[in-house]
Each structure stands twice: as C-alpha cells, then as structure tokens.
Amino acid sequence: MDVENTGDAYGERDFDLTLDGTTVDNQTVPVDAGNSTAVEFTFTPDDPGTFDVEVDGTSIDTLEVTAESDDDDDDDSPSSGGGGGGGGIAPEPSEPPEPPADVDVTASETVTPVLDPATDQQVAEFETAGSVEMITFQTDQDIGDVRVSDIDPDTIDAPGSAVAVQDIGVSAADTPATIEFTVSRDQLDAIDATPEEIRVFRGVDDGQEPLETTVAEVGGDTITVTAETPGFSVFSVSAVSEPDATISVDSDAVETGDEVTLSGVDSETKHGEIVSYEWSIAGETFTGETVTATVDEPGTVEAELTVTNDAGETDTATVSFDVEEPAGDGTGDGTGDGTGDGTDDGPTEEPGGFSPVVVILVVFVLAAVAAVALYARREE
C-alpha cells in the first residue's frame, strides 16, 4: 500500500496490519511533504488458513497460509493469494552470513538498517566496525541485519598495502550499495601512503575486484573514502601505486646467433608486489622476471617489458641493443698457390751473417794491404 503526504510538512503515521481483525504488525511510516512511500509489513503466521488482510481497517486482500509439507522444497514464508495489495507482505529477512572460515576475525558489529526518508534508501551506520562508517543500500526494501567483521590483514591476500580489511555480511548479498570508509593518518603513515593512493577492493571468486573509489574528505586526522559495490563479501582498503619497469641487458656486444639475457629484476612497485613480467623481443613474446633470447639477424633490436602489480597497475619500459655479424678469427688454412716470383724487395742476408756493405769493406781493406805489400817489395 502506498502512503502519500499531501501536506506542506514532513509527517509520520502508524499503520496496523490485521488478519481477521487481529493485529499482527505495526509500522511507523515517515513521509516528506509532497512525497509518497510504500508501507511494507513483515510477520510469521502460526496457523494455516485463509485470512482477510486489512491495513487500518481498509481491506487489502486475502492471505492463504498452508501447512509446511514434509519435503524441504517449501520455504518458510507464507504465500499470498490474489492480486492487488500495494506494497504487499515481504518475507522475513534472514540472518547475515558468517565471515569466511579461513580468516581471523578480530571484532564485529551488527546493526539494522533504517529507511532514510530523504533518499528513500536503507542506511546502516556503524560505531565500532573498524573503518566502515556507513552503508547506503540502493533499495527501500527491508534487507535485515548487516554484520561488519574486522579481519586481520595478514590472513587475506589483499592487493597493494592493506590499511583495513572487513567482511560485510548481508542476507541479500547482491544488493548494490555505497560504502563509506574512514582511515586515520597514522594508518597511512605506517605504510608510507597518501590519500590519493587509497583504493577499495571487493573479494570475488577469481581474486580481488577494484571498486570505483572516491576520496570524499581529507581531514587533519582522518580520510574518508566512498566505494560503489554491486554486492557484498570481503572488502580491502589498500594503498596502491603504479610499478616502475626497468630492463637490463647482460652484454654490450651481441653477435648473431648468440644468446642474450634480459632482466626485469630491478623493476619495483611502492605498494604490493609485481606479479607479471611480459616481454616482446624481436617479434617474439616471453614471460618471466629474466628471459633469454637468440637473435639471428644483425641490426638494432628493441626489447619491451610490461610489468603488472597485484593491484592491476602496469608500466612499460623499452631498451635497444645492436646485434652484429661475427668478426673473423685471424686464422688461415695453411695453404698457398705457390705462384710467387721468388724475389724480395728487402736486403738478403749473406752466408756467414755478413751484410753486402761489410763484404765490400773487407774486399777494399784486402786490396789496400796487397798494394802496400807490392810497393814495399819494389823498394827493395
């Protein structure tokens, strides 16, 4: 049933739900001036039968309640007969699910959301639930209690540098909502983080899903961020950063056919860890922190490395190196064609180790001695 406020001021009114004249539920409905809202009742029938349903004396419908069958296929909520009935009778919400068994819960808080008349949305506010301040559900339907459990960050593989981790349990786990988190300056200083580096992640089957995160307020002691989520599970408030890709080559002189080793070991990320190294070298792809490639063609080769950290942030670096043809080794095969002319432009060493000049001088001296001896003989 819809209730409309036709007046000029905000107002509230109590509505009674009766079955065959017996009041089974009462709801206080707030409505802003000029607005309308739906009245929704919740109750659990005790006996089967067909009942006349009235709200504040106005007949709404008939309700048929059947006894629970022996099998487990029937749910515990009553079934309604007939159409019409405005807001209808909603099933009683179930308890929120428990946190995962493999995490260490340090504290928890359970609250019941209330309808915000200004936004017509269910809102849950927390006082002791770690960093969770408020959850605004994108529905006006009763969703039951909400449990927030603080989790030791060391018991979960959170992306980046975790500031806080919470499990948020809601029976309607797929209800979209806006979550407001508050972290302290001391928490950020402990991990050397800035407000702009804060991101919120939601646990899903295949890892951590980044959520749209907005820094709503930066105060002197606290920072407030909001995140839009499509549903509920474990949430991590973490500081993330872009990685820095760096390449090193093991040799300055690379020849065709040689193996060259390239390393990304000097790549780093401020928060979290690098989880992926992807290479492109001379048209081939490789993965791993260190890779080895063989280049068969001479020329300048460009190598590209893309690194990804655990928050999904990436960075790419490139490096070039020259590949040359192998140089000759200076060795011959020891064979010749034997066609030389037998001449040598340089001086030829005479037998006995005398050079031509020495031989000429010796001849000249001998001639002089012979001349002197002949002259002396004639004088006699």
Query: Which of 180, 207, 239 is at the close of a domain?
Result: 239
Instruction: Return the closest-CA partner of residue 140 out of 43, 241, 300, 29.
Output: 29
pLDDT tier at 227, thresholds 50, 70, 90: very high
pLDDT tier at 350, thresholds 50, 70, 90: very low
Q: Tokens 């928890």, residue?
A: 108
Query: Which of 308, 324, 340 is at the close of a domain?
Result: 324
Same domain, 71 and 147: no
279 domain residue, yes or no: yes
Residue 178 is which amino acid? Answer: T
Residue 44 has pLDDT above 60, yes or no: yes
The predicted structure's pLDDT at residue 228:
97
Of 121 and 68, more confident: 121
pLDDT tens digit string along 54-70?
887 787 777 777 766 55
354 domain residue, yes or no: no
Same domain, 228 and 270: no
- Residues in a beta bridge with 31: 11
Domain total in the chain: 3
Same domain, 115 and 204: yes
Mean pLDDT computed over every residue of the chain: 81
Residue 373 is which amino acid? Answer: A
Q: Looking at residues 224-249, what average pLDDT do you find?
A: 97
**What contacts 68, CB < 8 A, 6 or more positions away?**
74, 76
Name the most confidently modeled range: 79-83, 259-263, 363-367: 259-263
pLDDT tier at 38, thresholds 50, 70, 90: confident
The predicted structure's pLDDT at residue 16:
80
Element (H, E) at 364: helix 356-379
Question: From CA 234, how far away is CA 294, in angstroms rounded?
Answer: 46
Residue 265 has pLDDT above 60, yes or no: yes
210 domain residue, yes or no: yes
Q: Looking at residues 168-189, what average pLDDT do you find?
A: 95
Angle in degrees, CA 224, 226, 227, rounded to 5: 150
The pTM assigned to this predicted structure is 0.60
Question: From CA 169, how far away is CA 233, in angstroms rounded?
Answer: 7
Q: Looking at residues 206-214, what average pLDDT do you find?
A: 93
Same domain, 74 and 118: no
Same domain, 174 and 208: yes
24-28, 244-248, 288-292, 347-351: range with lowest mean pLDDT:
347-351
Same domain, 195 and 218: yes
Residues listed for the chain: 380
> What strands lie across the sheet with 234-239, from one edge to the other?
105-111, 146-151, 161-170, 234-239, 198-204, 207-210
Angle in degrees, CA 118, 225, 30, rounded to 5: 15
Of 374 and 14, more confident: 14
**What contacts 81, CB < 8 A, 6 or more positions away?**
50, 61, 62, 63, 64
Residue 374 has pLDDT above 70, yes or no: no
374 domain residue, yes or no: no
The predicted structure's pLDDT at residue 378:
52
295 domain residue, yes or no: yes
pLDDT tens digit string along 281-330?
988 999 999 999 998 889 999 999 999 999 999 999 999 999 998 876 55
Instruction: Return the closest-CA partner of residue 228 out of 137, 298, 139.
Output: 137
**What contacts 133, CB < 8 A, 6 or more positions away?**
125, 126, 180, 181, 182, 224
Same domain, 219 and 127: yes
Same domain, 186 and 67: no
Of 218 and 362, more confident: 218
Residue 353 has pLDDT above 60, yes or no: no
Same domain, 127 and 72: no
The predicted structure's pLDDT at residue 88:
42
Q: What is the CATH number of the domain that holds 161?
A: 2.60.220
Domain residues for the domain of 135 are 105-239
The predicted structure's pLDDT at residue 328:
62
pLDDT tens digit string along 133-144?
999 999 999 989
Question: From CA 259, how far away is CA 69, in angstroms rounded?
Answer: 75
57 domain residue, yes or no: yes
Query: 189 in helix, strand or coil?
Result: helix
Residue 360 has pLDDT above 60, yes or no: no
**What contacts 262, CB < 8 A, 6 or more positions away?**
247, 248, 249, 250, 279, 281, 290, 291, 292, 293, 303, 305, 319
Same domain, 193 and 307: no
**What contacts 312, CB < 8 A, 6 or more positions away?**
159, 210
Residue 364 has pLDDT above 90, yes or no: no
Residue 15 has pLDDT above 60, yes or no: yes
The predicted structure's pLDDT at residue 26:
79
Question: From CA 27, how far away is CA 245, in angstroms rounded?
Answer: 61
291 domain residue, yes or no: yes
Same domain, 177 and 84: no
Residue 99 has pLDDT above 90, yes or no: no
The predicted structure's pLDDT at residue 14:
80
Query: Which of 303, 324, 345 is at the close of a domain?
Result: 324
Name the most confidently modeled range: 28-42, 145-159, 301-315: 301-315
Burial of 89 (0-12, 13-18, 19+ CB in 10 A): buried
Same domain, 147 and 208: yes
Query: 373 in helix, strand or coil?
Result: helix
Q: What is the CATH number of the domain that holds 291?
A: 2.60.40.10
Instruction: Return the closest-CA partner of residue 249 out of 222, 276, 224, 281.
Output: 281
Question: From CA 168, how far away is CA 148, in angstroms rounded?
Answer: 5
379 domain residue, yes or no: no
